[in-house]
Amino acid sequence: METIFHKADAEGIALAARLLKEGEIFALPTETVYGIAADARNGKAVAEIFKAKGRPQDNPLIVHIAGMEMLAGLVSEVPERAHLLAAAFWPGPLTMVMPRGPEVAAECCAGLDTVGIRMPSHPVVQAVIRQSGCAFAAPSANLSGKPSPTTAQDVRVDMEGRLPLILDGGPCEVGVESTVISIVGEHPTLLRPGHITLEQLEAALGEEVLVSGAILEKLKDGEVARSPGMKYKHYAPKADITILDGTFAQYKAYVDAHKTAHTACLCFTGEEHRLDVPCVCYGREGDGEDQAKHLFRSLRALDEQGDQTVYARCPGKDGAAMAVYNRLIRAAAFRVIKL
Ligand code: AMP
Ligand code: MG
Structure confidence by residue, pLDDT tens digits, 136-161: 999 999 999 899 999 999 999 999 99
pLDDT higher than 70, residue 228: no
114-118/94-99 β-pairing: antiparallel
Nearest-Å Rg of the Cα atoms of the chain is 20
Instruction: List pLDDT tens digits, range 159-204.
Output: 999 999 999 999 999 999 999 999 998 999 999 999 999 999 999 9
Q: Which helix (H) or strand (E) holds 28?
A: strand 26-28
Distance CA 218, CA 222 (A): 12
Three-class SS string for 76-144? CCCCHHHHHHHHHHCCCCEEEEEEECCCCCHHHHCCCCEEEEECCCCHHHHHHHHHHCCCEEECECCCC
The answer to whether the CB of 171 falls within 8 A of the CB of 296 is no
Q: Pick from 99, 90, 82: which is nearest to 184 by CA?
A: 99
Please tell me the chain's helix, strand, coil percentages from 3-state DSSP, rounded to the nearest 5.
35, 20, 45
> Candidates 50, 115, 180, 330: which one to mutate for ligand 1, based on the most atoms within 8 Å of Cβ?
180
What is d(CA 7, CA 220) in angstroms, rounded to the nearest whole number? 44
CA angle 273, 278, 279 (to 5 degrees): 65
The string of pLDDT tens digits covering residues 23-70 is 999 999 999 999 999 999 999 999 999 999 999 888 999 999 999 999
**What is the pLDDT, as a whole number, of residue 214?**
84
What residues contact 162, with CB distance under 8 A and at least 6 apart? 1, 3, 52
**pLDDT for residue 233 is more than 70:** no
Q: What is the pLDDT of residue 225?
A: 66
Question: Maximum distance among all alpha carbons in the chain?
Answer: 60
Classify the C-alpha dihedral 84-202-116-319 as positive or negative: positive
Q: What is the pLDDT of residues 98-136, one digit of tens each?
A: 999 999 999 999 989 999 999 999 999 999 999 999 999
| pLDDT interval class at 306 (50, 70, 90) | confident
Contact 312, 241 (CB under 8 A): yes
Report helix, strand or coil for 210.
strand
Which run of H or of E encompasses 182? strand 179-182
pLDDT tops 90 at residue 230: no
CA distance 61 to 336: 29
Which protein residues have their CB within 5 A of the ion that is ligand 2? 139-140
For 275-300, what is the mean pLDDT?
Answer: 97
Q: What angle do CA 232, 337, 247 make, to 5 degrees?
A: 125
Site to probe by mutation for ligand 1, drawn from 179, 227, 326 as the one with most ligand atoms within 8 Å of Cβ, is: 227
Name the DSSP class of 194.
Answer: -
Which ligand neighbours the alpha carbon of 114 most closely? 1
Rounded to the nearest angstrom, the distance between the alpha carbon of 251 and the centre of ligand 2 is 30
pLDDT band of residue 308 (cuts 50, 70, 90) is: confident
